[in-house]
Amino acid sequence: MFSRLGQLVTRRPWWVIAVWVIAVVVIVAVAPSLSSVSSSNETSFLPSSYESVQAQQFAEQKFPQNAEAADVFVVKRTDGAKLTAADQNRVAALTMGLNKAGINHVAAAVTSNAMLAPTGTAQIVSVVYKGSQTDRKLQNAVPLLRDKASTLLAGSGLRAGLTGTVAMESDTLKAFNAAQKTVAVVTIVLIVVLLGLIFRSPIAGLLPIASIGLVFGLTTSVLALLAKGVGFKVDASITSMLIVVLFGIGTDYILFLLFRYREQLRAGDESRTAVMTSVHRVGQAITSSGLVVMAAMAALLLSHLKSFQTMAPAFIIAVALMLLASLTLVPALLTLIGPKVFWPSKHWQTASSNRVWETLAGWIARHPGRMAIASGGVLVVLACGALFMHSSYDITGQLPSNTKSAQATRQLQSAYPAGALSPTQVYVAGTQPLSQAGLATISTRLKSVAGVAAVAAPVLTTDGTAASINVSLVAAPYNTAALNVVNRLKSVAHAAAGSGQRVLVGGQTMAYADIRAASTRDLRVVFPVAALLIVLILALLLRSVIAPMYLLLGVVLGFAATLGASVIAFQGIGGHSGILFMMPMIVYLFVVAVGTDYNILLTTRLREEVVDGASPHDAAAMAVRHAGPTVASAGVILAGTFASLMSTGITLLSEIGFAVSVGILLVAFVMACVFVPSVATLLGQWIWWPGHQGEPVAASASEPRTAPVECLSPAEDALV
């Protein structure tokens, strides 16, 4: 199949390129922007089966004032002193001015003496919007509110900072948009420079940028069309993630082709024949890698968190298009460019020996047991760190510290109890009017829960059949302690309900407690399904039962080692209370799924050498010599693209960038280049059971077994 595809592409390269360009131009022209279907509000991604969502729906029906989104202005003196009576009057005037401003999507601004901080250094002005927190239009009011407040307080010695759900999401989207530009620039520069050094050619560095850039534009447009047509939201971080994923795996696939193309040229093939052979030989590995990644992404559809569910189609589309481009567009371009892709270097014509890879290949061939224990031991030691992992759900810490909502949140926390930012709502509904005595009993029970700071008086609907009780917690709303308290609060509230009454607990803290429950459930469901899909695909690829099982063992070790390294870095060295709750799933996505490319490339090369008659020891040595430089170079570039996320200043992206880049390096260097070939050597012919077990077949005329060993140049060796 891949041989025929290679022949087709190399015979009609201009047609292939024309089809891609036309498809991109047409689809991009008709598609909406991806930002128009994006959201950064995690709570909007919960399914309706969770209590916080049901509470939100109930509030929209019975207590629309609670269902409407609200932010707060934190008003403080610029000198940090207590607010005077004149200052409080000025805050009241600020509130009146905001109400008179007629800002779209703003319902009212409210303040009172009761909103004065216990320290006396701040006063809250609550801003209620016309709509729920999931309404993107509300964010348009955020800059207008800030500008108006600044104008009204000019010369007063007071400053007002706006924070809350809407303000945070507005700042988050702006931060992600800025991060997208930073990541794009850093990634592109990194790929151009590293590929330029590896192949000593600017053309080789620019080839991935042109082809992957085309695929990126097509991917975002197709995803936006799908999201708008089906009616779902994608996570705001998806654009930055797509950049690193597409440029990461795209560069991997292109590197696989370029290294094999160079190897075939050195073996004496004519350029067009070399391209065809490269597609034939590497196409299977690329396709298998793409299918594994897509299968792993498809397992995300089983997630209870819609943010991960919507990542599935995004990454499946991206990988599918990149896979198609790698087998059609890139070979077509390579056919037209020919050996000039390596210009001005002459290094592609002859291979120089490299002691690093020759030595490593020799060690693995002679001492596979020792090498397997050494590489596996490194992974096991790092994996032990995962046993000490704590998850963090603090969304207030995700924004760069210089954003306005982050600054206002710090001002709020310095003057008010930690739980004041977002009270928890307890809703009580009955078929008959609720009695004051019954509500008093529920309130008393709620006050008795450890970790509750205060319980407000119940607010009844006009018909008396529903009540809302605001509960302030001692801990900050997104703190792990608060999530534990709200779960206890939910149990107490349900137990306190009278006959025929229904109790629902809502609010941001309850929502994140539900997110924690959904995440825990997803880890138990998504991972096993993904593992099964990966094993099935590898079994079909390798025609073996044993090989997929030991590769799966390597995948699990790589996953645990990456988490452990992250725990050591962030909780141990960085002093964080925990790592982001979504980190295990992110590591699964990008280390397990994407990083499996390298294991597949090494294993398919192993099988190729065995099929061509090599012994297990010789096959391992030749696979490391031939594929090791490719894996090492691809690993460095892919790790570098993810490391670019650390330059954004956003905690979420920084932690992802560190974890995934470390994980990719572990998978590429320790797992693929050492552990996989070492274990394969130990297993010998049994690794291919029950399929082919090493019967030699004749090599094709275009691929003589005397092909020179693929080695790194001095520049490549310096990189890896």
Mean pLDDT within 140-166:
92
What is the rounded distance in angstroms from the CA atom of residue 182 to the CA atom of residue 570?
23
Q: What pLDDT does 709 receive?
A: 38
- Where does the pLDDT of residue 67 fall: very low under 50, low under 70, confident under 90, or very high at 90 and above? low
The confidence band for 710, taking pLDDT boundaries of 50, 70 and 90, is very low
What per-residue confidence (pLDDT) applies to 195? Answer: 79
* Residue 530, pLDDT above cutoff 70: yes
Please say whether the structural domain 68-170 has been given the CATH code 3.30.70.1430.
Answer: yes
pLDDT of amino acid 196 = 79
Bridge partners, residue 471, by sequence: 424, 455
Residue span(s) of the chain under CATH 3.30.70.1320 come to 423-506
Lowest model confidence (mean pLDDT) among 296-305, 632-641, 657-666, 698-707? 698-707
> Which segment of 3-12, 25-34, 251-260, 707-716 scores lowest on mean pLDDT?
707-716
| pLDDT given for residue 362 in this prediction | 87
Confidence of residue 565 (pLDDT cuts 50, 70, 90): very high
- Report pLDDT for 159: 93
Given a cut of 90, whether residue 158 has pLDDT beyond it is: yes
Per-residue pLDDT, averaged over 46-69, amounts to 82
pLDDT-derived band of residue 354, with 50, 70 and 90 as boundaries? low
CATH assignment of 363-391+531-697+705-720, given 3.90.400.10, 3.30.70.120, 1.20.1640.10, 2.60.120.620? Answer: 1.20.1640.10
Mean local confidence (pLDDT), 647-675: 84
Classify 1-30+200-350 by CATH class. Answer: mainly alpha
Averaged over 485-501, what is the pLDDT? 91
* Beta pairing class for 122-129 and 70-77: antiparallel
Task: Place 717 in a pLDDT band, splitting at 50, 70 and 90.
Answer: very low
Residue scoring higher pLDDT (356 or 501):
501
pLDDT at 380: 93
CA atoms within a 13 Å half-sphere pointing along the CA-CB vector of 85: 0
Q: What percent of the chain has pLDDT over 90?
A: 22
C-alpha–C-alpha distance, residues 685 and 679, integer Å = 12
Q: Which pTM does this prediction carry?
A: 0.74
pLDDT at 361 > cutoff 90: no
pLDDT tens-digit readout, 262-301: 888 888 889 899 889 888 888 877 888 888 888 888 888 8
Q: What is the mean pLDDT of residues 55-81?
A: 85
Residue 398's pLDDT band, with cuts at 50, 70 and 90, is low
Write the CB contacts of 564 (distance below 8 Å, at least 6 apart in sequence): 382, 383, 384, 385, 386, 387
Domain 423-506, second-level architecture: 2-Layer Sandwich (3.30)
Residue 702, pLDDT above cutoff 50: no
**pLDDT over 70, % of the chain:** 89
Look at residue 285 in the predicted model and tell me its pLDDT.
Answer: 78
Nearest Cα to 536, choosing from 313, 288, 302?
A: 288
pLDDT at 351: 60
Q: Under 8 Å CB-to-CB from 681, ≥6 apart: which residues?
A: 364, 365, 368, 616, 617, 620
For residue 653 the two structure tokens come to 């992206």
Residue 719: the pLDDT is 40
Domain with CATH 1.20.1640.10 in the chain: 1-30+200-350, 363-391+531-697+705-720
Least confident of 95-99, 253-257, 633-637: 633-637
The mean pLDDT value of the chain amounts to: 82
pLDDT tens string 495-519: 998 888 899 999 889 988 998 888 8
Task: Tell me where in the chain the CATH 3.30.70.1430 domain(s) lie.
Answer: 68-170
Q: What are phi and psi of 618, to 5 degrees?
A: -65, -35
pLDDT digits (tens, 9 = 90+) for 436-470: 889 999 999 999 999 998 888 898 988 899 999 99
- What local confidence, expressed as pLDDT, does residue 420 receive? 66
- Report residue 400's pLDDT band, with 50, 70 and 90 as the boundaries: low
Confidence band for 556, pLDDT divided at 50, 70 and 90? confident
Mean pLDDT of 119-127: 92
Q: Is the pLDDT of residue 716 over 50?
A: no
Q: How far is CA 555 from each of CA 244, 457, 536, 595, 625, rounded to the nearest angstrom?
A: 21, 54, 14, 9, 22
List the structure tokens of 477: 């709303």
